[in-house]
Amino acid sequence: MEPPYIAIDSNYDALENKEVTSEVIDSYVQMTSMNMLHVEKRIEHVLELITHRMDYWERLIDGADSLLWIKSKGHGWAMYNQNTGCGYIRLYRLKPSSTLDHRRNTPWNRGTWTVLSSERELFSLLDSQEKNYVFRAWKEHQLQVLEQPSKLAEGRLENTNVEQVIIASKGNGCAVCGNTATHRAATTMGDSSSVMIEILLCKTHEYDANKNACVLSFFGTLFFLNIDIPDLIMLDHVPDELIEPIFSIIALNLDASFTPPKKGNNGWESRFVMKDGWFWLLRLNNLKSYAYMLFNKSGEQVHRIDSAPDHPDVPFGPAHQHIFPNKNNHKVEPSFTYGIPIFDFPLLHKTKKMHQTSL
């Protein structure tokens, strides 16, 4: 049976080949290693990673902490040790393809190799109480550091069209220096299926992040990359000329008709009427000033999602949602919304279904 190898090559498809150094490869694995807690492993604190590319393999050999040759298997591992940024031992090796393996009689002529007789000897070397203690202490600490960022990620995954979240952190939080994180920078890319990148930062490095044109550009600097991003226009609102096209997309997604958008003191408003008589009233002013209000077919408002900063006790604000807002004992919860309707459709659909099911 094939061991639980983790293929890595696709992680770097978007990069120029010259940019994919051993440092870039391993930095990405370290940064995303908390996502691998539930991945099958032969040893809890060891990741067995494979590349199908000879050029990646040679770079990994050059950057490794040690090189281990398994005589009985005829292949070698490039080992990267545990550190404060990652409690896993990372083992990398070359496998020519997903279906074909290779066998050599002698170690590679690159680097200095330690010869081990078998995988049993390798696992005996790696599976020690000390190494497992380091891993478990790192894991427990990271779960504490990432508790709040993980809740935000879970909220976005549940309530918006975000389908993947990358949280960049190190040590006590800050992805740059590992000091305690007190701030974060985040960006979301995509449309019907989006990826959110969340970078934890200390105060000093939040200042550095703000010097970049956008969060994605700053994210690239964490991996020593110079990401070529076209000129961007930074706006805190949806431009007037895009209101009509965006509202058409909303209507199509909600299977609704909409009234002509009107611009007032609080931004653009339109009513999206669905076939069963329920409707959403949308108000879009800017990304920090918006509201989605759901009315049943009797014209009663049963739900409101808005960005007013009037509930400082609600986490992940100011965006929040009121369930049955006209009742004295109504609930107020985080909404995790963006204020950009094309990102927020999942919550709108889920909200209507919830209220109709409760009838």
Cβ neighbour number for residue 39 with a 10 Å cutoff: 11
Amino acid of residue 289: S
Q: How many CA atoms lie within 13 A of 304 on its CB side?
A: 16
| pLDDT grade for 68, boundaries at 50, 70 and 90 | very high
Per the CB < 8 A criterion, the answer to whether 174 and 141 are in contact is: no
pLDDT of 217 > 80? The answer is no
Whether 213 has a pLDDT exceeding 90, the answer reads no
Q: Residue 91 corresponds to which tokens in the numbers above?
A: 């083992």
3-state secondary structure 140-173: HHHHHHCHHHHHHHHHHHHHCCEEEEEEECECCE
List, in sequence order, every residue forming a beta bridge with 286; answer none if it has no partner.
Answer: 289
Q: Name the residue type at position 141.
A: H
Rounded to the nearest 10 degrees, what angle do helices 341-357 and 240-254 cross at? 40
| pLDDT (tens digit per residue) in 69-81 | 999 999 999 999 9
The answer to whether 164 and 133 are in contact (CB under 8 A) is: no
Q: What is the structure's pLDDT at 173? A: 87
pLDDT at 58 over 90: yes
Token reading at 105: 């009689």
148-166 tens-digit pLDDT? 989 999 999 999 999 988 8
SS3 assignment, position 119: helix
pLDDT tens-place string over residues 166-205: 888 888 888 888 889 888 888 888 767 788 888 899 989 8
Nearest-Å Rg of the Cα atoms of the chain is: 25
CA distances from 276 to 250, 303, 349, 352 (A): 17, 17, 14, 11
* CA 179 to centroid of chain Cα atoms: 21
Place of tokens 């050599």: 104
Q: How are beta strands 46-51 and 6-7 bridged, if at all? A: parallel
Using the structure block, give the residue that is written with the tokens 């226009």. Answer: 233
Per-residue pLDDT tens digits for 283-312: 988 778 899 999 999 999 999 999 988 898
Amino acid present at 184: R
Q: Is the sign of the CA dihedral 236, 241, 247, 253 positive or negative?
A: negative
| Residues 346 and 353: beta-carbon distance below 8 Å | no
Mean of all residue pLDDT scores within the chain:
88
- Report pTM: 0.74
Listed by start position, the domains of the chain span: 6-141, 146-221, 240-357
